[in-house]
Structure 1
C-alpha cells in the first residue's frame, strides 16, 4: 500500500533565548499543555577569566485545536531560570497534579507542579529543588514512570562531570538514593528501562553506552557498548515493546537494540546529523521521532527492524523549516482537528498551487511579523525560493499492516532549534493513496 506523507507548520514562536527542549504533558486532562526550555550562554564582559553566565527561561503554553482562525498556541507563563538543559514531565500525576522536572545549569534538579486556579488559569509553581553537584551542569533527566506506573516514582539524571544519580520522590521532595561516576567525560543522557526500572541506561562523551543494574549497585556496569563511534547523547526506551531501546549519537546514527543482546544493534539508521533527542510515539509503536541537530527532524518507521529485517529504518517524514540546530522534539497525545493545512499565527490559511507538479506554496507569519514563503513537495519536504520545483514521484513508504494503523495517521508535534531560538508546532499526516482517490461515480 502506498502512503502519502505531509508535514504542515501550524505556528512559529520566537523564544528569544536559544531553545533546546520541548515537552508535551503526558498526564490526562493536561495533554494540551506544552513547555519549552531555553539556554543562553553569556560570557563576562571585559574579563576573560570570569565564569560564563548561563541563563534560561521556561515557557508554559496551552494548545487549542478548535479550528479557530487565531493561533493555536497561547502563552500562559514565562519564568526566568538558570539555563535549562532538559525538561521531562512525570508520566503520572503526583499528589493529583502534573509535575515537571528540569535539569539546570546550576547543578540542580528542579521540580514544578502544574496548578489550575478556580478560574481555570494554569501555572507552574516550584515544588522542590535538589543540588546534584556543585560546579556542574545537569544535562538530562528521566522518570521511572514511562509505563504509567506510580508505585515507585524515581528520577535519574546525568551531569557534566560524567556522573549519574538516582532520586526517589515522596511527599513533594526528592531524596538521593545513589550517585556514581559513569563516564569519563560528560554524561549527556540517562534513561530508565520502562519495563524494568531497576535497569538504567547512560551515554557519554566517551562514546560509550552503558547499562546499570541498580539492584547490584553502580560499581560495575551491567554492559558497556562501544558501538557508537562518537558521544552518545540520546536514549529512549520503548513503552510498547519490552527490551527495545533506541540510542543516538554525534556519529549521526540511530541504533535500535534488543536489551537482551547489547552486543549488536538490530538496526542502524544514518541520519546525516548528530542525534540529540529520540522519542517513541506514545501510541504508535513503530514510529520514532529524531532531532538530528545539523539535519533537521525526522520520523522513522521501525516495523521492519522489529520483524528481523536488516538495514536502516525508513524515514517517512521530515520537518526542515528550522534554520538552526535541531535539539528539542516531542509528540503530543492530542489528535489534530480538521483537515491538514498550514495555519499562520494570525491569519487564515492560504494555499495556492506552485509552479511544477503538485507543489504547495505555504505562507506563515515569521516572528519578525513579515511573511515568509516556502515551498513543499508532495512528501512535505522544503524547497527553497528560486529553485525550480522538480517533478518528483514519491517513493512508497513501507507497507503497513492494517491491524497496526487505521486508514490514516495524523499527529501533532513540537520542535525547537537553538541559535535561531524558534519553537515550531506542526502536524504530520500519513494517508494511504487509496483513501485519497475519488469514489467511482458508478
Structure 2
C-alpha cells in the first residue's frame, strides 16, 4: 500500500452494459458490500428518432443495473436486477434520513434543495448565480456541511457558505479549464481534491485556498475523484481518455509529490465512472475491524440508492439537462450531502491518529495481503470493468 507495499492491478471481468455507461457505485452497507450499482447514459441515434421533431431535444436513454460480487465465481459480477430509466447522470448510496441536495445547472446557477422522504419530492431552499458558464460540479464539505464548493466551465473553483448565500467565500483561478470534479476527504478534515479538463488533480487545504498544496498531471480530463473508504491516502481518478489512476497522496501534506501507484488506459473509450469497493474478497465482509471491539454498522434499511436522472420517479432525484453531447458535456451535476461518508464519527474516533496505510486495523479483513476491488466504466464501448488491486 504505502512505502514498500507492492500491489498489482489486474482485470477480473468486463461486462457489456449495452448502453453507454458513465457511473458506478459500490454499496457501503455492512452485509451489502457485495452489491454494485451501475448507471448508463445513451443518446438515441438520429435514425431511431423517426417522427420526432428534428429541432427538439434528443432522447436520452438510461438503465440502472444492480450486480452482486462473488468470490469464487468465474465471472465475479452477476446481474441481480435492471431497471430502464431516463439517462442516469450520477448516483450515490445515502442514509435514510432527511437529505440536502446541492445541484448545478447549465446557466451556472447552484440550487440548494431538501428531499421530502415521505413524498419523494424536492423542496427548493435557495438558488443563486455561481459561474459565468455551465456549472459542472458542486459538492458539500463532509466535515462542515454548511460549506460547499462548485466548479464551472469558466475554470473557476468557488467556495460557499449556506448561511450567507450569494457571495462566494473564495474564488480560485488555479485550474486553467473547466472544473468538473470535487470531493472533500472523509478522513482528513481540511483536505479537498479537485479535477479539471486541464488534466490536473489538485489537493487543497481548505483553511488556505490561495494555492493547492499538490498538483498532479493526470493525462486526461479528470471527471471523477473518489477517496478510498478506508485508506486515507488513496485517491481514485477517472481521467476520461486517460483511463484511470490510483494516486498515493500519503506525503502530499508534507509538500512532497503525489505518486501514481497504478494506471490503466482503455483505448477508444472514455472512463467517466470509478469507485472503490468496501468489500474485502479474501475474508467475509462481516470481519470489519476498525477497532479491537468492532463498530456496529448501520443496518441496511437505513440506506438507499439515490439516482440522478432526467424524469421524476419514486425516491429519485430529478435534474434537467439540455446537452447535445455525452456526460462529458453535461449541463447539470448533483452531489448529495453525506452521500458518501466512508467512516462514521464513531469509526473515525477509534482510529489511531498516526495509523499507517498498511496497519491491519484499517481494512476489512485485516491484513495487507487483502485484495482491493474497484470498478470503472468506459463510455463508448459500454463496458463495466471489475479490477483487483492485490499484493504482488
TM-score between the two structures when normalised by the length of structure 2: 0.74
Contact preservation (8 Å) 1:44, 1:53: no
Distance 1:51 1:170, change over 3 A: closer
Q: Does 1:162 align with 2:115?
A: no
Cross-structure match for 1:403: 356
Query: How far off is 1:177 after superposition?
Result: 1.5
For the pair shown, which has the larger CA radius of gyration, 1 or 2? Answer: 1
CA distance 1:322–1:422, shift in 2 (3 Å): farther
1:331 correspondence with 2:337? no
Asked whether 1:421 is paired with 2:374, we answer: no
- Secondary structure of the 1:303 match is coil
1:32 equivalent in alignment to 2:34? yes
Alpha-carbon offset, residue 222 of structure 1: 1.1
2:77 paired residue number: 73
The answer for the alignment partner of 1:109 in structure 2 is: none
How do residues 3-402 of structure 1 correspond to structure 2 at under 5 angstroms? 3-45=5-47, 48-65=54-71, 67-69=72-74, 71-90=75-94, 92=95, 94=96, 153-172=99-118, 173=120, 174-217=122-165, 219-306=166-253, 308-311=254-257, 313-321=258-266, 323-337=268-282
User: Who is 1:367 aligned against?
Assistant: none
1:246-271 deviation digits (Å, cap 9, x = unpaired): 00000000000000111100100001
SS, match of residue 188 in structure 1? strand
Does the Cα contact within 8 Å between 1:322 and 1:422 map onto a contact in 2?
Answer: no
Deviates more, 1:290-299 or 1:318-327: 318-327
Q: Is the 8 A contact 2:376 2:384 kept in 1?
A: yes
Give 3-state SS (helix, strand or coil) of 2:251's partner. helix
Instruction: Report if aligned partners of 2:282, 2:371 keep a CA contact under 8 Å in 1.
Output: no
Q: Which has the higher contact order (CA 8 A, sep 6+)?
A: 2
Q: State the Cα distance separating 1:188 from its structure 2 match.
A: 1.1
Pairwise CA RMSD: 2.0
2-structure distance, mates of 1:281, 1:177: 32
In 2, Cα distance between the equivalents of 1:402 and 1:44? 55
Q: Which structure 1 residue ranges, 5 or more long, are not aligned?
A: 95-149, 339-400, 432-442
User: CA 1:166/1:29 → structure 2, altered by over 3 Å: closer, same or farther?
Assistant: farther
1:183 Cα deviation (Å)?
1.5
Structure 1 residue aligned with 2:364: none
- Alpha-carbon displacement from aligned partner over 1:83-119 (angstroms, at most 9, x marks no partner): 11111111x2x1xxxxxxxxxxxxxxxxxxxxxxxxx
Distance (whole Å) between structure 1 residues aligned to residue 62 and residue 106 of structure 2? 18
Question: How many pairs are equivalent?
Answer: 306
Distance 1:216 1:430 in 2: 49
CA drift at 1:28: 2.3
Give the Cα separation in 2 of the matches to 1:43 and 1:166: 34
- Give deviations 1:13-61, integer Å, cap 9, x for gaps: 1111110100111222221111111111125447642321111111111
Cα distance in structure 1, aligned partners of 2:219 and 2:275? 20
Gaps in structure 2 of 5+ consecutive residues: 284-353, 360-367
Report deviation, 1:4.
Answer: 2.4
* Matched position secondary structure for 2:112: strand
Preserved contact between residue 202 and residue 209 of structure 1 (Cα < 8 Å): yes
User: CA contact under 8 A between 2:266 and 2:378: conserved in structure 1?
Assistant: no
What's the CA shift for 1:319? 2.7
Assess if the C-alpha contact under 8 Å between 2:177 and 2:198 holds in 1: yes
User: What does the per-residue CA deviation read over 1:259-310, in whole Å, with 9 as the maximum and x for residues that have no partner?
Assistant: 011110010000110000000000000000000011111000001112x224
Q: Is the 8 A contact 1:299 1:317 kept in 2?
A: yes
Give the CA deviation at 1:196: 0.2
Match of 2:226, SS? strand
Cα distance between partner residues in 1 of 2:208 and 2:219: 26
Is contact 1:12–1:422 with CA below 8 Å preserved after alignment? yes
